[in-house]
Structures are given as structure tokens and as C-alpha cells.
Structure 1
Amino acid sequence: MKNSPLIWRGFLHPEFKTGELMEILKIEMNLKTVNKSIALFNCEKKVSGVIHSNSTGETTVILDGGYVLGKFDCPHCAVTAISLLIVKIREGEKTGYGNYQKHKQTFMEQAFVTVH
């Protein structure tokens, strides 16, 4: 198996302190390369958007709808941020805050009505 950048290999995220229990979660992310600096992503059919890397290595993640998730030092950091976002969405759905997809659809319908 080729070394995939989406597989965590012995990495302890800085948010976890030594001695704390850590849960390993599986996240499905599809990446499609458009060109040398742009890739499209869809993470668990909940969050999608564009990953843009410039010549200096700085990487920007733009979610569908135009929201900028952030600017990162490298593509790996960007993928990590997208993964953590999915984990937070999952936690929100489990605690009863509703389904992210329904929220997004309702928001877009209201925005469409406001514009037209």
C-alpha cells in the first residue's frame, strides 16, 4: 500500500495532552485534482469545497458557498482542519443540534429567496 497522506501514522494531535485518551475516527474524504495547485474535496458528503496551494506552499481551504475555512502552512494541515471540522459536525449532530446538510439547504433556500 502506498503511503497515503490521509492515514495518520503515530501522530498525536497537539490538542491532546499526554495521558489523555484519544479516540481514532475514520473519515471518508474524496479528493479530485484539477491542476497543480487546485483540488476539489468532498468529505463524507457533508462538506465540500476547494483546496488551493500556491507556489510558496501556503494552502487555502474554501468551502462550498464561499466560506474560507482558513489558510494553512501545507496541504496536510489543510486536510487535518477539514477532518477536524467533520468531527465537530458529527458531534453536533449527535448532541441534537440537527443535521448539517438540512441546515445548509435551509440557509441556501433563504438566501435564494432574499436575492430574488
Structure 2
Amino acid sequence: MNFGMKKVSLIFALTAIFGSLQVLVTMDNSNAQMGQEILNEVNGLYDEANDLINYTLQEEQKHISSLSCQQLLSELTDYKKAGDYWASQVNIPHYASRAEGYYASAERRRTAYLKNCL
């Protein structure tokens, strides 16, 4: 193989490598942009969910503050029973989250009862 042929082969190989790298960089940029768009959307959903949770907790706190001591005890018992029920459903994974939510609601009522009624 003469020098001219080696030079052409090298140029062809470098062109192919550069073209491949250019395609990879374009794909990476495209994937990064799509990934950023998805991340922005997920962050937006996270913010909305966080706002909804905070709003729900504020509304629940308003409700709790309007209850009498007897009503607090009654709701505390009801939420505790509901938590016990969902906690007993051990074969279904997301039911533990439900139980935890009911227990948290019962705890908020217990705290209000201890603060306001004793």
C-alpha cells in the first residue's frame, strides 16, 4: 500500500469516526434535552403534589381545631381503627401507606386532644 492510499484510508477512517461521534453527540444532546424536559415536568408535578399536601394538612388542621374534645377522641379512635385495618392487609404493599396515613391523622388528633383537652 503506498503512502497516498494510506492517507486516503486514514482520512476515510477519521471521517467515519468523526461522523459517528457527531451522531452520538447529537443523540446525547437530544437525550439530554428530553431528559431535562422530563425532569422539569417531574419537578412541576412534585411542586403541585407538595402544594396539595400542604393545603390538605392546613384544611385538616382547621377541621381539628373546630372539634370538641369528645369529637377529637371519636375521630382519633376511628382513624386508629382504619389504620389497624389497612396495616393488617399485609399482602398488598401500598396498603401500608394507607395505614401510615390513618395513623398520622390519628396522631394529629391525639396531639390536639392532649393540648386542648387535658
TM bracket, shorter-chain basis:
under 0.3
What TM-score, normalized by structure 1, do the two folds share? 0.25
More strand by share: 1
Calculate the TM-score normalised by the size of structure 2: 0.25
Q: Which has the higher contact order (CA 8 A, sep 6+)?
A: 2
Instruction: Kindly indicate which of the two structures has a greater share of residues assigned to helix.
Output: 2
